[in-house]
Amino acid sequence: MESVIVAQTDQNQLKLAMLRGALGRCPSCGETPLFRSYLKQVAACSTCKAEFARIRSDDAAPWLTAILVGHIFLPLIFFIDMEAFMPYWAGLMVWFAVFASLSLVVLPRAKGFFIGLLWSTRAPGVEAG
C-alpha cells in the first residue's frame, strides 16, 4: 500500500514539474523563470538552487513542436478553404505566417516541458553533463 502512495506522489511531482516547465517556470519551485532568453535556460534557479545547466532537451522540443503543429494543426489547411476568401498565393502566405508563428510559440513551451521531465526523472546524462 505504501509503494502505491509513493508512486502516486512521484507521478504527481512529475506532472507538476512538467507543467511548471511548460509554463516557463522552475520545475522545482515554480517561482523563477526557466529561460533567460527565448530558448536559453538558466544555469540554476535563484530561489531553490535547482540546477538546469546540464539538462539538454536537444531534439525533443523541436520534435514535439513538429508533432503538435504538423499533425494537429496542419489538417486545418484541408478543412478551411482560403481560396473562397483570397487568392491562392495570399492564402499560402497566411498559412505560412500562422504555422511559423504557432511553431515559435510552442517551441519554448515544449523545451520547458522536457526540461521539467528530465529534471524530475533525473534521466541519464543529466548529472554527468
Q: Which domain holds residue 91?
A: 2-121
Task: Identify whether 94 is part of a domain.
Answer: yes
Task: Identify whether 127 is part of a domain.
Answer: no
Q: What is the pLDDT of residue 122?
A: 85
The percentage of the chain sitting over the pLDDT mark of 90, rounded to a whole number, equals 57
The per-residue pLDDT for range 1-54, each reduced to its tens digit, is: 455 455 566 888 999 999 999 999 999 999 999 999 999 999 999 999 999 988
Q: What is the pLDDT of residue 69?
A: 92
Task: Identify whether 46 is part of a domain.
Answer: yes
What b/e sequence results for 30-61 when a residue is b if at least 16 CB atoms lie within 10 Å of its CB, and e otherwise?
A: bebebbeeeeebbeebeeeebebeebbbeebb
Task: Identify whether 57 is part of a domain.
Answer: yes
Task: Identify whether 126 is part of a domain.
Answer: no
Structurally, the chain folds into a number of domains equal to 1
Q: What is the pLDDT of residue 72?
A: 84
- DSSP run (H or E) holding 102: helix 88-121
